[in-house]
Amino acid sequence: MRFQVLTIGGHAPHPLTGELGPPADRLAEVVDTGVAAEELGFDAYAVGERHAGLFLSSSPTALLGALAARTSRIRLLTGVTVLAIADPVRIAEDYATLHQLSRGRLELVIGKGAEAGHFDLFGLDEGLQWDYQTEKYELLRRLWREEKVTWQGRFRPPLVDTTTVPRPYEGRPPRIWHGSATSLNSPELAARHGDPLFSANAIQPREAYARLIEHYRERFEAHGHDPRAAHVGAGSGGLFIADTTQEAIARFKDYYEARVRQTHKPHLEGKPGYNTPYRTIEEAVADGPHLIGSPQQIIDKILTFHRAYRHDLQSITVDSSGLTLPEQIDQLRRFAAEIAPVVRREAPTTLWQQPQTPSENPARR
């Protein structure tokens, strides 16, 4: 198993105290957490993209640029790049630049996004979201693999003999994962092209995500790809480690349940992927995707995920728990020391089998 730390740059008032820090401090925390994740031996750090709601992650390229300058080994991922609302030419340029700056450490997770409001914001029809996603991915794929691209589609002007610059680092396009939460569209697109899949594993019951992953694996092989290359990542809810599960519940209960109330979206009630069914912390510990409890409880839950998903990459989040930055880093330290080694041993993977070569980053000399 490989491990990733994910942030979506949440910037909401504390659900119990109402406190809200300055945006500049919050953005600095995002970068500092990525630096700490590298120092603690995590394999990847991911920055999400949101354009609606209480978030500061509308410009992941800026944050990833800062991370590229402050790190030298850890892989830098997106989580997700909202390709459905973007121009593929701009995405090709921006992320190839980051691929160069990080000397090949960048990978994308593309998706339609988890906030319905961004389609209106960019003047797009939400009903066409999967059409946008498919066409824009097909073009992005060509732009990174070919020069002098001639192309015509539905959603942007044609291209004639177009070569985007810069080219990807050392001529190798960044790996593109497909984010999957509620629909068979992303698993199908990933399988068609032999790409890896990243399951949200964030809100719905485990069975809903397992169904999408199994569809992906079946279609991956049906499209003629080697099933051993069907790599899968999985998210999780927030991380909260304590010495015992009872202590974790006692310490985290009020925050967790207040946070559920704060983030509830009544207008999206019944729509998969937007509101958690796990309203109490006891429900979240027993059945939800949150990693709450003792180290052994969390090890057991991740391995339960693995039995359902056979995934290679586990993503964790520490900045949705109401903890201070030092407390978040301590959570990562405990995870790296007490949980990750056990799960790595119990769930081996061929993903990223070759060690990441440290980049020659002047800022780190």
Q: pLDDT of 298-357, one tens digit each?
A: 999 999 999 999 999 999 999 998 999 999 999 999 999 999 999 999 999 999 997 554
pLDDT given at position 355: 54
| CB neighbour class for 148 (10 Å; exposed up to 12, middle 13-18, buried from 19) | exposed
| Phi-psi group of 197: left, alpha or beta (phi > 0 → left; psi -120 to 50 → alpha; rest → beta) | beta
Distance, in Å, from the CA atom of 264 to the CA atom of 6, rounded to the nearest integer, reads 21
* Total Cβ atoms within 10 A of residue 270: 6
DSSP-assigned states of every residue in 161-176: EE--SSPPGGG-PPPE
> Would you state the structure tokens that stand for residue 192, as one six-digit string?
């068609």
Cα–Cα nearest to 141, from 108, 112, 170, 169:
108
pLDDT given at position 364: 42
| Angstrom distances, CA of residue 303 to CA of 72, 213, 283, 297, 299 | 30, 16, 18, 10, 6
Considering its fold, how many domains does the chain have in total? 1
- Give residue 208's identity as a one-letter amino acid code: A
Return the CATH number at 243. 3.20.20.30
* Segments of the chain assigned E as strands: 2-7, 44-47, 75-78, 81-82, 106-111, 149-151, 159-162, 176-180, 197-199, 232-234, 239-241, 291-293, 313-316
* Total Cβ atoms within 10 A of residue 105: 26
pLDDT given at position 264: 85
| pTM of the predicted structure, to 2 decimals | 0.95
pLDDT given at position 356: 53
| Residue keyed to tokens 């201070």 | 324
Containing structural domain, residue 266: 2-364
DSSP-assigned states of every residue in 273-313: TSS-S--SHHHHHHHSS-EEE-HHHHHHHHHHHHHHH--SE
| CB neighbour class for 103 (10 Å; exposed up to 12, middle 13-18, buried from 19) | middle
What does the DSSP 8-state code read for residue 359? P
What does the DSSP 8-state code read for residue 10? B
All residues at 6 or more sequence positions from 56 whose CB lies less than 8 Å from its CB, including other chains = 9, 10, 11, 23, 26, 27, 30
Distance, in Å, from the CA atom of 64 to the CA atom of 77, rounded to the nearest integer, reads 8
pLDDT given at position 269: 83
> Would you state the structure tokens that stand for residue 191, as one six-digit string?
């399988």
For the chain, residues with pLDDT lower than 50 are 357-365
pLDDT given at position 365: 35
Strand pairing partners for 293? 241
